[in-house]
Structure 1
Amino acid sequence: MMSSAISTEPTSTKMENDVRNLTTDHSGVAPGEIAIGVVIGRASEYFDFFVYGIASVMVFPAVFFPQETRLEGALWSFVIFSFAFIARPFGNALFMAIQRHFGRSVKLTGALFLLGISTAGMAFLPGYASLGFTSIVLLAIFRFLQGIALGGSWDGLPSLLALNAPEERRGWYAMLGQMGAPIGFILASGLFLYLDKSLDARDFLDWGWRYPFYVAFAVNVVALFARLRLVVTNEYTKLLEERELEPVPVTELLASQSANVFIGAFASLASYALFHLVTVFPLSWILLNSTRSVDEVLGVQVVGGAILIFGTIASGLVADRIGRRSTLGTAAVLIGIFSLFAPWLLSSGPRGQDAFILIGFALLGLSYGQAAGAVSSNFVAKYRYTGAALTADFAWLIGAAFAPLVALGLSANFGLAYLSAYLLSGVVCTLVALRINRDLAADKARLRG
């Protein structure tokens, strides 16, 4: 009864139909055009994401937690950092409901404006010196709203890209959908690097750090119109309907497909764990130990972002040769080997730290390039749209949300060996999930045979 109610609801609003009448010059939606929409959308989201992540290390401990030690301030900052990932599944459920009732353009517009407003709101937020504990509460609220918005910004483009790409090139097109991460990281890191080099420490902490948050709002507005131009076309809507890529209630999805959701989340856990351990954690660890200047570390990370681009491209080429799941498994093994050397690299001076960052980015590109939806074929067509979104949300929550907090807390108090243990746990989860997925696929093949 629930599914029939869903299928009879209109999938488009009058506003969407009016906009589509202005876009009838589209003769079709090619995989390359879908990929451009994915890259634009993800780059804007990741820019917001990394602006907050870098500020959590460089700014928030001093501005919002000045009463704490440097380590405690950083840890509290990372606690609030995790709120967005906790909120993502709730945002997913909320905005899926909005899409079912009002259409995907209303959903996407609302989600991206909420993302931009909550990000810009942080830019206007007074610090602890002015508002006391209230400033921390407001920061936490804005961060939670960011997560709600990120969960709601799912537009189905990555799933459509994977299904609409040529079968022999699906690894390549899946990689294109992940290119937003390095682009967003390079832009965010480069902007913070420029501001930190251009301003003295007092001006940077007083007002300089706020500019990236203003920029994030502007980037979201531009990205919104770029994505809407594609999302509301007749061709895009037709493709979505042909592939049955329409939202279903999250409760219905979990009741029917919870095993696939969690297998998908754990299958990419090594990649998501590594994600923050090479982007956010090194900056916090090096600054905490005052071994070198923040500008130097940010400069190395910008280079790492460029390596991430090449690693992501390589993942597409490799995946089309050996398969996406085999690529994920191979990358997980390499991450496991890397984790054994991580403590030595981070404690061996600037060259070792640089090697940790750059090698980590290369491995991240190889793994993250194929991390999204590698096992989404497990979902039946009806659940693939919502299932792919919720799988990604749980992968971020389980693998990445607490990575900087756990890694910094354990490493600072008990030693860097715990960094290895954390990464290795993600590797084990990935390999086990991929093995379970392979066995389930084999069982299904035998039943069909």
Structure 2
Amino acid sequence: MTGTPDNAQKEQKNRRELRTVVASSIIGTTVEWYDFFLYGTAAGTVFNTLYFPSDDPLIGTLLSFTTFALGFVARPIGGLIFGHIGDRVGRKKTLVATMLIMGVATCAIGLVPTYASIGVAAPIILVLLRLAQGVAIGGEWGGAVLMSVEYAPRGKRGLYGSFPQVGLALGLTLGTGVFAGLNAAMSSTAFLAWGWRIAFGLSAILVLVGMFIRLKVIETPAFRKMEEHKAKATVPVVELARNPLSRRHVLLGMGSRLSEGVAFNTWAVFAISYGTGTLGMQRQPLLLGVMAAALVMLAFIPVFGRASDRFGRRRVFTAGAVLTGVVSFPALAMLHTGHPLVTGIGIVVVLGVCYPMMYGPQAALYSELFPTPVRCTGISFVYQFSGIFASGLTPLFLSYLVGQAGGGYGLVLAYLFVATAISAVCTLAIRRRDLFTEDVDAGHEQLRNARNATAA
């Protein structure tokens, strides 16, 4: 009987740690995505006018979305830097650093003078701060995901891996909600003059809350066990490149993500600019539609994360890619009606219900592609490098296609179809037998085999 109280105390301690990890992952990623998406929302509604003025509204929008894309170009750099730190030093240390970088950059964006005030220096400063945001989010995602996945109870990686993904929906809800609230509370003149800056200044409060919780988190069990086994990779990115299976998983992972990144940035970013600029809709209904979709997404991300534990991650992810692509066809037609309610329903269905079928299982799916010693580098590289094409360039490229089509959306539909097909094929090509579910010893063995093969 003497062991019972000790076991109970240990179990209680484990539960407290797990709750802290989950809270840290959700709140931390919420702050990071809030900051990152504020720029995306502002790019199509504010920055194109204040920082990239042009006689042709389309040119101003294209320039603004170019700086939006630069944030995604910087993300692989952050992914490699902080992925290396995460694999060599620990997952936790990456999360504290990335949150500080993101918070400072976002607050600074809210203070940058306009083009009318300081000329060309304004967009240059904006670009530099956007690059800092990209580096921060590039390191954030991998560390936050692994904190949850590597703490997850057996058989629940999909569910726990979906918790940091919820931060995307919360960040999007807060970002669009704050913009919509400020837009409704003041005149358009006041909003463009100074109101939008409030949204960026609020980041300071969110960062303080996130830092308070993150400093309480301890390192993941998988990383601690890897240290005990002395199984750390000397240079994770080199180990990743040496191993044929890892190289295969990097390519398939990036291909699978194409539809997810394209879908999100089509409906959360491009749709707002397309609706206001090309279709002449009011900004407010579109912002409210995206915010409503984000709220619905909050419920469905963990639902589909848990579904991946029961039915398999590849199946759920592939079904999500196909369904999102198919539903985008009527959703774009609904957007073209210009009716606020009809438009909102289309956005909610495709972004709030269909898209989470991919985003819910994604963290666990990509985590199982790589062994522990190179996992942070591997998933960061897959997610962030693919983000350049799948996410960052999507609003810019779709805006160009709309211009080529004279305002129509036929070419947009074609692009979405191609992205869906590529993602479905790549996801199904991932073999179950190659996944790392019992990973520490297997990861150590894999690295040893790779080194022996290279030496031979």
TM-score above 0.5: yes
Equivalent residue number for residue 417 of structure 2: 424
Determine if contact 2:162/2:301 at 8 Å carries over to the other structure: yes
CA 1:97 to 1:126, structure 2 compared with 1: closer, same or farther past 3 Å? same
Pair 107,440 (structure 1): closer, same or farther in 2 beyond 3 Å: closer
- The one of 66, 69, 74 equivalent to 1:79 is 66
Amino acid at match of 2:267: V
**What are the residue-to-residue correspondences of 1:140-159 with 2, within 5 Å?**
140-154=127-141, 156-159=143-146
TM-score by length of 2: 0.84
Partner AA of 1:354 in structure 2: G
Instruction: Find out whether 1:124 has 2:114 as its counterpart.
Output: no
Distance apart, 1:297 and its partner CA: 1.8
- The one-letter amino acid paired with 2:430 is N
Q: Give the RMSD, CA atoms, in angstroms.
A: 2.8
Q: SS at 1:179's partner residue? A: helix
Distance 1:300 1:240, change over 3 A: farther
2:260 corresponds to = 271
The aligned residue for residue 360 of structure 1 is: 350
Of 196, 201, 216 in structure 1, the residue corresponding to residue 183 of structure 2 is 196
Q: Given that residues 35 and 106 in structure 2 are in contact (C-alpha distance below 8 angstroms), is that contact kept between their aligned partners in structure 1? A: yes
Q: Which amino acid aligns with 1:422?
A: Y
Aligned to 1:369: 360
Give the match for residue 442 of structure 2.
none
**1:380-395 correspondence to structure 2 within 5 Å:** 380-395=371-386
**TM-score, normalized by length of structure 1?**
0.85
What does residue 166 of structure 2 align with? 179
Does the CA contact (< 8 Å) of 2:47 and 2:64 recur in 1?
Answer: yes
Q: Which residue of 2 aligns with 1:8?
A: none
For residue 302 of structure 2, the aligned residue among 299, 313, 333 is: 313
CA contact (8 A) 1:247 1:385 kept: no
Q: Is the 8 A contact 1:64 1:136 kept in 2?
A: yes
Task: Supply the AA of the counterpart residue of 1:364.
Answer: Y
Q: 1:130 & 1:199 partners in 2: Cα distance?
A: 22
Partners of 2:413 and 2:21 in 1: how far apart? 38
Q: Residue 344 of structure 1 is aligned with which of 316, 328, 333?
A: 333
Tell me if 1:280 matches 2:273: no
Q: What is the alpha-carbon distance in structure 2 between the residues aligned to residue 357 and residue 90 of structure 1?
A: 32
Cα deviation digits, residues 113-164 of structure 1 (max 9, x gap): 2211211111111111012122111111111111112223356342243244
Distance 1:440 1:76, change over 3 A: farther
1:395 shift after superposition: 3.1
Distance 1:97 1:166, change over 3 A: closer
Mapped to 2, the partners of 1:175 and 1:220 lie a distance apart of 21
Query: Does 1:238 pair with 2:227?
Result: no
- The answer as to 2:388 corresponding to 1:397 is yes
Distance 1:435 1:71, change over 3 A: same
Moved more, 125-134 or 311-320: 311-320
> Could you tell me how far 1:358 is from its partner in structure 2?
1.1
Is the contact made by 1:100 and 1:247 (CA closer than 8 Å) also made in structure 2? no
Change (3 A) 1:159 1:299: same
Alignment correspondent of 2:443: none
- Counterpart position of 2:96: 109
2:103–2:207 Cα contact (<8 Å) kept: yes
Partner Cα distance (1:103, 1:374) in 2: 21
Q: Distance in 1 between matches of 2:112 and 2:79?
A: 26
Asked if structure 1 preserves the Cα contact closer than 8 Å seen for 2:44 and 2:273, the reply is: yes
For residues 388-442 of structure 1, what are the alpha-carbon distances to aligned partners after superposition, in whole Å with 9 as ceiling and x for unaligned? Answer: 2222212322311111111122123312012212211221111111222138749
- Is residue 2:254 matched to residue 1:250? no
- For the structure 1 residues 424 and 247, does the alpha-carbon distance in structure 2 shift closer, same or farther, using more than 3 Å as the test? farther
Residues 48-71 of structure 1 deviation map (CA, whole Å, 9 limit, x = unaligned): 111111111111011011234221
Q: Structure 1 246/188 Cα, relative in aligned 2: closer, same or farther at 3 Å?
A: farther
Instruction: Look up the match of 1:10.
Output: none
Q: Structure 1 residue 345: deviation in Å?
A: 2.2
Report what 1:302 is aligned to: 291
Name 1:67's counterpart in structure 2: 54
Runs of 5+ unmatched residues, structure 2: 1-9, 436-456
Question: Residues 143 and 163 of structure 1: is their aligned pair in 2 closer, same or farther, counting only changes over 3 Å?
Answer: same
8 Å contact 2:87–2:377 — kept in the other structure? no
Q: Does 1:223 align with 2:206?
A: no
Counterpart-to-counterpart distance in 1, 2:213 and 2:412: 40
After superposition, the Cα gap between the structure-2 partners of 1:306 and 1:410, relative to the gap in structure 1 and judged at 3 Å, is same
Paired residue for 1:28?
14
The 10-residue stretch of structure 1 (30-39 or 245-254) with the greater mean CA deviation from structure 2? 245-254
* C-alpha contact (below 8 Å) 1:231/1:237 kept by paired residues: no
* Other structure's SS at 2:368 match: helix
Shift of the 25–210 alpha-carbon distance from structure 1 to 2, 3 Å rule, reads farther
Distance 1:239 1:181 in 2: 30
**1:272-320 CA distances to partner (integer Å, 9 max, x unpaired)?**
2111111111110111035332122212222111111122133134323
**Distance in 1 (alpha carbons) for counterparts of 2:232 and 2:19:** 19
Do the aligned residues in 2 keep the contact of 1:264 with 1:376 (CA within 8 Å)? no
Q: Percent identity?
A: 28
Quickly say closer, same or farther: Cα 1:232–1:369, change in 2 above 3 A. Answer: closer
Separation of aligned partners in 2, 1:25 and 1:373? 24
Residues 3-52 of structure 1 show CA distances to partners (whole Å, capped at 9, x for unaligned) of: xxxxxxxxxxxxxxxxxxxxx99933654443222111111111011111
2:430 corresponds to: 437
Secondary structure, aligned partner of 2:260? helix
